[in-house]
Amino acid sequence: MVSSLLADALANPTAVLEDLFDPNAVLDAFPARVSAHFSTVFAPRDALNEIPPLSPSSPPEIHQNRALVRFRAMIQDTSPSPQMYLARRKHALCGGWGLGADDATDRDDSIDYADLRECTVVWAVSVPGESSWCSTALDGTSVSTGHATHRALSPHKFPMPDASHVGAQIKIYESRRTGESLKATDLYTFVGILTSEPLHADLELAHPPFVPTLHVVFSQPVRTTIVPREYPLASPTTSELRDELIAWIADTSLAGDRDAAEWVLLCGIARVQSRTPPILPLTLTLSRFPSPPSKTDISTNPTLSHVLSLLFPVLNILPLSLNTLNATSFAPESKNEDLHSGWLQLPSGSVCLLTESGVTEGKVSERGLQNLRAAQEMMNAQTLEYVFPYSRFEFNTDVAFVVLTEGKRSAFFQTNVTIPLKPAKSAMEFDFYRDGSDVALPSPQKLEMFRALVGGAKIGNVSIGVKTAEFIQEDFVKERQAASSPSDALSSDDLIHRMMLARLLALSLHETEISVAVWEKAKALDTRRKTRISQ
Amino acid sequence: MSSPPAIDFPTSDNDIEMEDGAESSMPGAPQAQQPLFLAGTPSTAGTPARRQRSNAPDSTPLRGVTARRAVGLSTPKRTPLFAPGSSSPLAFPSSSPAKTPRRRVELPSDRPQDSDPLDFPSSPIAAKTPRNRRGDIHSSLSLTPNRSALRPQRLDYNAPRRDFNDLNSDATHLDVPLSSAPQLSAPAAPSDEPDEIRAIWGTTVNLAETMKLFRDFLKGFKPKYRAAHDRELGLHTRVFSTPEEGEVVLYETYLRQMRQKGDSNLNLDIVNLLAYPPSRKLHAQLYKYPQEVIPAMDQVLKDLMLEIADLDQQAGMEGMEGAEGEAEIADIMGRVYKVRPFGLPAVNMRELNPTDTDKLVAIKGLVIRATPVIPDMKVAFFRCLTCSHTVQVEIDRGKIEEPARCPRDVCASVGTMSLVHNRCEFADRQVIRLQETPDAVPDGQTPHTVSLSVYDELVDVAKPGDRLAVTGIFRSVPVRVNPRQRTLKSLFKTYLDVVHVKLGAGGTLGFDRSTRPAGGDRLPGVGDGGDEDEESGGDGRQTRKAELEAKLLELSRRPGVYDLLARSLAPSIWEMDDVKKGILLQLFGGTNKSIARGGGGGGPRYRGDINVLLVGDPGTSKSQILQYVHKIAPRGVYTSGKGSSAVGLTAYVTRDPDSKQLVLESGALVLSDGGVCCIDEFDKMSDATRSVLHEVMEQQTVSIAKAGIITTLNARTSILAAANPVGSKYDVNMPITRNIDLPPTLISRFDLLYLVLDRVDEALDRKLAQHLVGLYLEDAPTRASEDMLPLHELSAYIDYARSKIHPVITEVAGTELVRSYVEMRNMGDDPRASEKRITATTRQLESMIRLSEAHARMRFSEFVELEDVKEAVRLMREAIRTSAMDPRTGKIDMGMLNTGTGQGQRKLREDMRKEVLSLLDGAGGARGIKWMDAIKKLGEQSSIKVDAAEFTEVIKGLENEGLVKVVGERDKRTIRRIEG
């Protein structure tokens, strides 16, 4: 029974919709009924995966008109005004969901204004920086690559200019409740009927361009880890697994520097703990990171980025260069009532890797300065200001930052932590810019365990016992007393950073409480880093 | 009409004739006289030119007369209005427009006629005879009832007029006491007619009744009703100065004002409808069926305008006598009167939904774009190509029905109706895009935008960047698939037909009225009520506001409010109580004072803004404090000295992408005019930017000279700056000026300077660690238990104090200020020292005044009292003690802050100078002494270490005096004594 419903819904969602419609029932209740029906049909495990995905590898063109698709997407823009539609068409037919948008009513027909309903319109794009393993895990192996790469109609709506992505106009009929709660950079899986319609804002143009439009039947929020994870891991060997993971990161991408690898891992799993008081992710600068061997090809991404994208679900690389600074924008900006995206419009829980290797000498324009300020502000306060005419709107973000720089410290940014890279082998032999395919992979099972470790740490919670708290206090006082001169003494900021580090360390070990051992370990890690800097 | 000629008529006729002659020679000479008396005064009959002059500038009625005359309308003598051939009220509508085409567009739409000057047979379709030509309302209601309703009324209305005319001519200039009886009979007329009951389609709303209700309202509403209504809702009401004030028939006053100003818009606060018991029903009707009710109101308004004008003419009111009155009345007839309702509680624009369609709604927002003026067709004129039959079609829901066939039965040809463009009627229209303001947008959402259509007088009132509160009719219309096709989509676009606009709807970002040209964008209409408060917006909002105010007042009476506020300022920052208190007072600010008299627009201003500088070790949460303040302060701005270019801190000129005009975009400091500007890493700021701050901090202005625009902008800003010491740590053995890399001139402009040092102290350290561990590692931070104000309440408290409280210094406080200042100055009096140390300057006195005012403000007190001064002095001392102490002497020396060199330092230099000279005179002689050797030798003699920098200063001084000469570079420098 259920399976036949499923087959129906997949084969002809429009018919299902029309069957559900009862012209005599209360119109306002219909959208909720649609949502309830479809979500029940697709409630069973894996049923959702039966729906063909809409993604860069299976772009809108390969789907039939009015096919049921699912779209894992980031809300990019919630500013389009809600749209009115006739919920009951002529002859008591079902309206909305793109139905009747094409039938041309003669204008002599009277319109019953009481049948008008409203739907929320937003613009959504495929999740920026989503790692390919996530897509494979959720969408199955991509469909034949015979199609030419999809070219989105509105490239300015995606954070990375020129990157391949799918963007679509999303129409949500279950208005008030669902529609109002959608926030910019939220991740959702939208299931709906795919059509091609003019942009809502362009309706009055003579020949409006058509864009992919998804008429949502139901939607689900997507977790920050994309793939469901748990914390703490049940495995007793988490500590060993963690060591293996760090070793793997260090050996494949950081010339064997385990401390640096550990810092990268810890800062990668950092997230916003609280806003008042602000307990924000630690930001990291990995200094002394070699530039690509040939300056000609500055677009090469470091091996680290490939390795991290194998571990973290969402990783974005922001290759800093004079061109990206001066010619692109980091913060979203509304131009002609269209919200253009910016590099930093990223979903919560993503990792942003800033590489400074592409920066050359030259002038940073006003825009460049604004971009730099936006990035610094996001590191400091985890907020990003979207620019609108005559006003700015501040949006909360939750993005972990790792800056790679060749110098002693970042040329542009101040981060909480700086650690100079100290290759175990000579950098001459080690290629920091190997291609992604050259990365030595561990066994698939091992890799999956790594990912579970990282994903779980991203969502876990740790507490602190009274004993450890007292120990930390005592430790701080003692260390201050021991300082040879006031200028060498540990400052309160140092203590704060150390505590944040201890928390991250506990998370990476999948422990539920910060223990004295973890504290000592964190202290040792931080001390090793400090000695490195002074060397 | 056989009455004997009135004595004054000949003179007035003469006047008019002469005036005609003089018209071209004396146009519009300005002279404000009482022109309206002159008409009937024989003595002025001989000075016609003068009369003309005095009338020209302001009298539209008279111009109306002359205009009419110019187009050949003869004004017959003696019977100015009702003689045959003149525009009698009955014949007027059809005859007058033909003769004064200039006025055609303004003609009342509701006239029972077809104003067709040409002789085409005309048959308006669908029996929509009268047209309502208001741009904003395309009423779907057939206004035919007015036609018959008006006719008798007009007749009735004329009857007493005639009588009165006769009366008037019988006994000219006798002050006839007006019997109101004939007047009152007039309004009753329409409703008496049983066959006039017409309802709004689909409802039970009787339009005639609606009109009567509105009429009664206009004639009966008095301010006392509103006061009673407000009291019922528990709102704050204005107290009437005299009982009579509450008894004024408000709208009759407004109507007279409209006539005098030549205005045709009446702004109607619909809360007044609610407040006047008989018209309560009208409120709901207006809200539900604005489309029908507003035109009906317009009609009533016009009738009443005429009635009142008539009444005034009879009463012989100034300017309403004789021919002038007639002209005035004729003018009123020629106008379209509009009622512009406002006063609905504003809703969020995302709450507008299909059920609001065609209802009256009020929203607020920010104008982001406005189109140029678009001519909007209100009435289309079609002519049949075969039989030349013409048809006029009115706009309905934004579209015009093109007649498919000729309506004449004889002709009835299909598709022959063609549009005659120059016979159509157009209105001014403008489309405005209104965006939600930041405060209205739900968290995490991007703002929505709606389209507004504004018409006629409202066009060009709002400019991009303005905040508006608009009242309008919400529309949803089907979208056409293709403009060339007759088909529509089942998709709809929504917009608002605006009936009322209010600029700068409150909020912290309200625009500065002084930036607008005087009268340049005055809103049309009368009745907004200049006597009403700005905040008379929505009921709900006001009660909430009153609630908040009550809460704040209660809070201000709490005993420990000072500590509570200081504690709430930056809850996550531990200790630093005095710093928090200083910053708290900065947020409240002193009062700005200016000397009222004197040249240049009121003499000098004295700033009330308090500037605070924090200097201290890295890692002492200075930046965090700044971040908090930035969030709390009204118009807080946060910038880092390092990243901000001079442009970002000042203002720059750009070209507006839409209008191609040069616009001034303000930067951080100007934007925070009236706010707090937080500057982190103040010491890293470039010198150019810092020099701007000199001006900002003392003159409170910013000067700009860019792209040919030279101007000075106000920047009444308090500055909260944080700076790091020169080395990585603050060296307590050095004076402050050596510790921070800032010019002393700038440092001295800060009222309070705090040193935030990181000292090792076991007990303190333990408490700090406890605080931090609790904060950063526990899931539920412990601070919740503490008594703390939430951020928004603190912000509201400060906002309220800043806008409402302006404390004045009492005598006791004044004496205390003087005493404290003298005491502070006397601290430097040391009988043993030969030189006097400066411990306080007038700058410190000014700071003390500002701080005590701020403290009084914090208490919501209108007076600065003794306790305020005491606290201010305490804060000052605390700050000075840490910052202005000379580390070498351990004494306070303001000279250090003001000039960069303390008294102790000056003495030291003097000693060193003597030594250097003796050194040179003794050993070196003409060969001179090597730089390094000199320092070494001085070091051997002296008990304290010789500072290289100090030494350089001394040598420089000697060089300037012409006593020594320095030869060579860097390490090879040699000092030589110049003989003579």
Which CATH number do you get for residue B699?
A: 3.40.50.300
Cα(B141)–Cα(B201) distance, integer angstroms: 8
- How large is the average pLDDT for residues B20-32? 41
Q: Specify the higher pLDDT residue, B47 or B811.
A: B811
Question: Does some domain include residue B849?
Answer: no
As a 3-state breakdown, chain A gives helix, strand, coil percent values, each rounded to 5, of: 35, 20, 40
CATH code for the domain in which residue B198 is found? 3.30.1640.10
B940 exposed, middle or buried (CB, 10 Å; 0-12, 13-18, 19+)?
exposed
Is B322 in the same domain as B438?
A: no
Question: Does some domain include residue B384?
Answer: no
What are the pLDDT digits (tens) for B663-722?
444 444 444 556 677 777 777 776 766 777 777 776 666 666 666 666 666 666 778 888
Is B486 in the same domain as B368?
A: yes
CA distance A260 to chain B (A): 24
Contacts of residue B453 in chain A, CB cutoff 8 Å? none
CB atoms A492 and B620 under 8 Å: yes
Q: Which domain holds residue B471?
A: 349-376+426-528
Backbone angles phi, psi at B835, to 5 degrees: -100, 150
Is B292 in the same domain as B220?
A: yes
Cα(B879)–Cα(B612) distance, integer angstroms: 10
- What is the 8-class DSSP label of residue B223? H
The candidate with the shortest Cα–Cα distance to A371, out of B682, B623, B439, B648, is B648
Is B359 in the same domain as B306?
A: no
Q: Which helix (H) or strand (E) holds B876?
A: helix B866-883
What are the pLDDT digits (tens) for B486-500?
455 566 778 888 888
Contacts of residue A382 in chain B, CB cutoff 8 Å? none
Two tokens, residue A452: 């579970």
What is the per-residue pLDDT for A248?
A: 92
Find all residues with CB under 8 Å of B103, minimum gap 6, and list them: B96, B97, B334
Contacts of residue B479 in chain A, CB cutoff 8 Å? 203-204
- How large is the average pLDDT for residues A322-346? 88
CB of B435 closer than 8 Å to CB of B405: no
CA dihedral B752, B757, B761, B767 (to 10 degrees): 70
A336 exposed, middle or buried (CB, 10 Å; 0-12, 13-18, 19+)?
exposed
| Closest chain B residue to A502, measured at CA | B777
CB atoms B728 and A487 under 8 Å: yes
For residue A155, the one-letter residue type is: P
Q: Above 0.85 for ipTM, yes or no?
A: no
Contacts of residue A487 in chain B, CB cutoff 8 Å? 728-729
Q: Residue B778: how many CB atoms within 10 A of its CB?
A: 12
Q: Which residues of B726-749 are buried (b: 16+ CB within 10 A; e: fewer)?
A: eeebbeeeebbbbbbebebebbbb
CA distance B483 to chain A (A): 7
CB atoms A489 and B758 under 8 Å: yes
| Beta-strand relationship, A399-404 and A284-287 | parallel
Is B583 in the same domain as B633?
A: yes
Q: Which of B445, B477, B653 to mutate to test the interface with A (most CBs of A within 10 A)?
A: B445
What is the per-residue pLDDT for B843?
A: 77
CB of B213 closer than 8 Å to CB of B181: no
Pick from B772, B779, B791: CB nearest A499: B772
What are the pLDDT digits (tens) for A278-300?
788 899 999 888 887 765 555 67
Cα(A98)–Cα(B6) distance, integer angstroms: 78
Pick from B444, B485, B769: CB nearest A184: B444
What are the pLDDT digits (tens) for A78-95?
888 888 887 877 777 787
Is B310 in the same domain as B362?
A: no
**Domain end position, chosen among B322, B342, B362:** B342
Radius of gyration of chain A (CA): 26
The candidate with the shortest Cα–Cα distance to B404, out of B418, B414, B394, is B414
Pick from A85, A388, A499: CB nearest B776: A499
Is B627 in the same domain as B696?
A: yes
Q: Which helix (H) or strand (E) holds A18?
A: helix A13-20
How many structural domains does chain B have? 4
Is B334 in the same domain as B233?
A: yes
C-alpha distances in Å from residue B217, one per residue of A86, B221, B270, B913: 40, 5, 11, 91
Is B575 in the same domain as B479?
A: no
* Residue-averaged pLDDT of chain A: 82
Is B630 in the same domain as B655?
A: yes
CATH code for the domain in which residue B359 is found? 2.40.50.140
C-alpha distances in Å from residue A508, one per residue of A253, A280, A454: 20, 17, 7
CATH code for the domain in which residue B909 is found? 1.10.10.10
Pick from A389, A481, A499: CB nearest B368: A389
Is B491 in the same domain as B590?
A: no
**Domain end position, chosen among B505, B528, B551:** B528
Cα(B86)–Cα(B65) distance, integer angstroms: 12
Q: Label residue A73 by pLDDT band (50, 70, 90).
A: very high
Least confident window among A16-25, A174-183, B33-42, B319-328: B33-42
Two tokens, residue B86: 């003149």
Find residue A396's DSSP bridge partners. Answer: A383
The candidate with the shortest Cα–Cα distance to A242, out of A268, A223, A272, is A268
- How large is the average pLDDT for residues B130-149? 46
CA distance B616 to chain A (A): 12
Q: Is the pLDDT of residue A352 over 90?
A: yes
CB atoms B791 and A82 under 8 Å: no
CB pairs under 8 A between A and B: 215
Find all residues with CB under 8 Å of B886, minimum gap 6, and list them: B735, B892, B893, B896, B902, B903, B904, B905
Q: Which of A275, A276, A533 to mutate to test the interface with B (most CBs of B within 10 A)?
A: A276
Question: H helices within A162-220, ranges in order?
Answer: 180-181
Least confident window among A397-411, B165-179, B374-388, B537-551: B165-179
CB atoms A117 and B354 under 8 Å: yes
Question: Does some domain include residue B838?
Answer: no
| Closest chain B residue to A389, measured at CA | B368
What is the per-residue pLDDT for B138?
A: 56
Q: Which residues of B152-163 are buried (b: 16+ CB within 10 A; e: fewer)?
A: ebbebbbebbee
- What is the 8-class DSSP label of residue B359? S
Find all residues with CB under 8 Å of B664, minimum gap 6, and list them: B651, B652, B653, B704, B709, B711, B713
Q: Is the pLDDT of residue B825 over 80?
A: no
Q: Is the pLDDT of residue B908 over 60?
A: yes
Two tokens, residue B975: 């000092």
Two tokens, residue B869: 């001064």
What is the per-residue pLDDT for A266?
A: 93
**Domain end position, chosen among B316, B342, B368:** B342
Is B313 in the same domain as B361?
A: no
Least confident window among A109-113, A115-119, B20-24: B20-24
Find all residues with CB under 8 Å of B932, minimum gap 6, and list them: B971
Cα(A84)–Cα(A88) distance, integer angstroms: 12
CB atoms B489 and A104 under 8 Å: yes
Question: Does some domain include residue B276?
Answer: yes
Cα(B257)–Cα(B249) distance, integer angstroms: 13
Two tokens, residue B176: 């006839």
Contacts of residue B357 in chain A, CB cutoff 8 Å? 113, 116
CB atoms B354 and A113 under 8 Å: yes
B595 exposed, middle or buried (CB, 10 Å; 0-12, 13-18, 19+)?
exposed
Q: Label residue A260 by pLDDT band (50, 70, 90).
A: very high
Cα(B436)–Cα(A28) distance, integer angstroms: 27
Question: Does some domain include residue B741?
Answer: yes
CB atoms A186 and B444 under 8 Å: yes
- What is the 8-class DSSP label of residue B452? E
CB of A234 closer than 8 Å to CB of A452: no
Question: Does some domain include residue B809?
Answer: no
Question: Does some domain include residue B55?
Answer: no
Q: Is the pLDDT of residue B161 over 60?
A: no
